[in-house]
Structure 1
Amino acid sequence: MPPPTVSDSVSGAVTGVGEFDEPGVGGALVGELRTVRILWRREMARFLRNRARLVMGLVAPLLFLFVLGNGIGSAGGDLGHYQAFLFPGTLLMVVQGPAVAVGTVIMWDRQSGFLRQMLVAPVRRGAILAGICLGGATTGALYALPVLALAALMGLPYHPRLLLVLAEITLLAFALTALGVSAAVCIRRPETFQIVSGLAMAPAVLLSGALFPVGGLPSWLGLAVTANPLSYGVAALRRTMPDPATGAVTPSWFHAGPEWWGWTPPVLLDLALVVVPSLLLLTLAARRFARID
C-alpha cells in the first residue's frame, strides 16, 4: 500500500474537523480555525517540497530588475535611480506567480476529487478559501524576502521602512491570491484558467506603473492605469520605499502613482483599493464554491 500523500493527510484532517468539537458557536469557530491552519500548512508543505519552483519564480523578476533596470538606467533621463524605481514593481511581479499557482492547484484538486473531499467537511466554505489564501500570502512573502534582501544593490538603504514594505507585500499577496482563487472557483478547466490568468496578469502588470511613471501618459492610457487595481499596489510600495540618497520618502516617487484630479491617494487608501475588491470577489467565490460539483 503506498504511503499517504500530503493531500491524503489534509483531506482526512479537514474532513474530520468538527467531528469531536464541542457543539455551539465556539466549537464551530474552533473547527473553522483548525481548517484554516491545516490548509495553510498544506501550502507551506508544497512550498518547502518544491524549491525549484522558488528559483524559477525569481528568474523573470530578477531579469527585469538587473537587465532592464541597468539598461534603461544607463540611458539617463530625469528619473534617477531607475533600478530603485523598478524595485517595487519587481516585488509585485514576484508575488503574482505564487498567487496564480494557488489557483492552478485548486483546478487540479477539482479534477483529482480532493476538492470534493474538502467540501464534505462541516465548516463554512469561506474558511477553506481563507486557509488557501493565507497560505498563498505567506508563500508570496517568502518569495519576496530574497528580493527584498537585495535592496542595497538597488541603492536603497536598509531602513525600517522595508519592514512596512514586507507587510504591504504580504497583504498584496493575499489580495492577488484571492483573485486567483476566485477565478479558479469560476473556471472549470485548468487549461482555460492558465490562459485567462496569463492574459489578465501581463496587461495588469504593464498598466500598473511598475515599469514607468504614470504621469504625462496619454489620456486613454492614463485612464487604464487609474482603473487598474495593481497600480495602487505598486504606488503603495513605492511611496513606502526609502529614498536611495537620504532614506526619506522621495517626493518625485510619491507622485509617481495614479492621481485623482491632482490629488494623490494616501498609502492606506492605495492598499484598500487592492484588498477590498479582492475580498468582495472572494466572498462571491465562497458562495459559488459551495455549489461546485
Structure 2
Amino acid sequence: MTATVGIRVPQRSARHDLRAVKIVLHRELLRFRRDRMRMVTGLIQPLLFLLVLGTGLSSLMPGTGAADLKTFIFPGVCAMSVMFTAMFSAGSIVWDREFGFLREMLVAPVSRGAIVVGKCLSGALVATLQGVAMLALAGLVGVPYDPVLMLGLLGMMFLGALALTGFGVMLAARIKTMQAFFGLMQMSLTPMMFLSGALYPLSGLPSWLSTITLLNPLTYIVDPMRQAVFSHVSADPAVERAFNPGVHWGDWHVPVPLQLGIVVALAAVMIGVAILEFRRGE
C-alpha cells in the first residue's frame, strides 16, 4: 500500500492577501528594472513634447518673467508620462493572460482583489518612478528644484498613476489579446491627453468642449500640478491668468483639494470595478 500524502491549502486571510500584493508588486518592479528599453522609450514622447514642441511654440507665445510655454506644459508632460507608463503597466495583465501566467495567479489561495490591488499599486509605482526622470528636467524649463514642490508633484503623479492604472486594469480585465488592448488604449489615451489642458489652456474653449474637459479624469491631475508649479515661479499676472486659468465648474473655481479628492475617488471606483470584473471573469 502506498502512503497518501496530504496536501493542505492555506485558508485565505488578510495576511495572505497582503503577501500576494507584495509578491505582485515585487514581480512588476523586477520586470521594470530589467526592461531598460521600456524605460528609455517611455521618456521619448514626453521629451519631444517638452523640448521640441514647447521650444518651437515658445517663440510664438513668449512668456514674461520666469514662465513661458515650456513652463506651462511641464506639468502636463509629467502627467502624460505617468499616463502612458501606467497604461502600459496595466497591459501586462493581457500579456500574462496570453501566456497562461495569469491563470496560475488566479488559482492561488488569495483573493482576486489582492492581485488587482497589487497590479494597480505596482503600475502606479512604476509610472511614478518614470515620472522622476521628468522631474529631473524641471530646471530646463524654469521650474525650481524646490523640495516641497518636487515632493508635491511626486505625490500627485502617484495619485494620478493609481487612477490611470486602475482604469487600464479595468479595461484589460476582459481583453484577450495585446493587439486589442493597444488599439483600445490608443483610442482612450489620445482624447484624454488633448482634452486635459496638458498642452493648451482650458480657458476660452467652446462650451461643448469645456464640458468634455471637465469629464476627463486627466484634467484633475494636470491642473493641481500646474497650480503647484506656478506657485513657485515668477510670472506676470497676465501670463499666469492665460497659462494657469484653473478648472471651473461654471463660475466656481474648483479648489485643488477637491480635484485631488476626485482623483482618489476615481481610483477607488476603477479599482473596485476591476476587482468585480476579475471575480466574474476567467
- Asked if 2 retains the 8 angstrom alpha-carbon contact of 1:137 and 1:170, the reply is yes
Q: CA separation in 2, counterparts of 1:19 and 1:89? A: 48
Q: 251-260 or 56-65, which moves further after superposition?
A: 251-260
Over residues 205-256 of structure 1, what are the superposed CA-to-partner deviations in whole Å (9 max), with x where a residue is unaligned?
000000111111111111111121111110111111243227xxx9537952
Structure 1 match to 2:59: 74
Q: CA separation in 1, counterparts of 2:166 and 2:156? A: 15
State the Cα distance separating 1:57 from its structure 2 match.
0.7
What's the TM-score once normalised by structure 2's chain length? 0.89
Matched positions, count: 269
SS of residue paired to 1:89: helix
- Asked if 2 retains the 8 angstrom alpha-carbon contact of 1:119 and 1:290, the reply is no
Note the 1:226-245 alignment, pairs <5 A. Answer: 226-241=214-229, 242-245=231-234
- Asked if 2 retains the 8 angstrom alpha-carbon contact of 1:96 and 1:176, the reply is yes
Tell me which of 264, 267, 270 is aligned to 2:253: 264
- After superposition, the Cα gap between the structure-2 partners of 1:270 and 1:135, relative to the gap in structure 1 and judged at 3 Å, is same
Q: Structure 2: state its 5+ residue gaps.
A: 1-6
SS of residue paired to 1:186: coil
Tell me which of 36, 40, 44 is aligned to 1:51: 36
After superposition, the CA RMSD in angstroms is: 2.1
Note the 1:135-150 alignment, pairs <5 A. Answer: 135-150=122-137
Supply the AA of the counterpart residue of 2:260. L
Structure 1 match to 2:4: none
Please state if 1:30 is matched with 2:15.
Answer: yes
State the Cα distance separating 1:292 from its structure 2 match.
2.3
Q: 29-38 or 222-231, which moves further after superposition?
A: 222-231
Name the % identity: 40
Q: CA separation in 2, counterparts of 1:56 and 1:167? A: 23
Tell me which of 50, 67, 74 is aligned to 1:87: 74
Please state if 1:275 is matched with 2:264.
Answer: yes
Over residues 180-224 of structure 1, what are the superposed CA-to-partner deviations in whole Å (9 max), with x where a residue is unaligned?
001000222321111011011011100000011111111111111
Q: CA separation in 1, counterparts of 2:281 and 2:178? A: 15
SS of residue paired to 1:209: coil
Structure 2 match to 1:208: 196
Structure 2 match to 1:112: 99
- Asked if 1 retains the 8 angstrom alpha-carbon contact of 2:170 and 2:277, the reply is no
SS of residue paired to 1:229: coil
Supply the AA of the counterpart residue of 1:169. M
State the Cα distance separating 1:151 from its structure 2 match.
0.8
Structure 2 match to 1:222: 210
Structure 2 match to 1:172: 160
SS of residue paired to 1:129: helix
Over residues 66-95 of structure 1, what are the superposed CA-to-partner deviations in whole Å (9 max), with x where a residue is unaligned?
111111111135785110110011001111
- Asked if 2 retains the 8 angstrom alpha-carbon contact of 1:32 and 1:124, the reply is yes
What's the TM-score once normalised by structure 1's chain length? 0.86
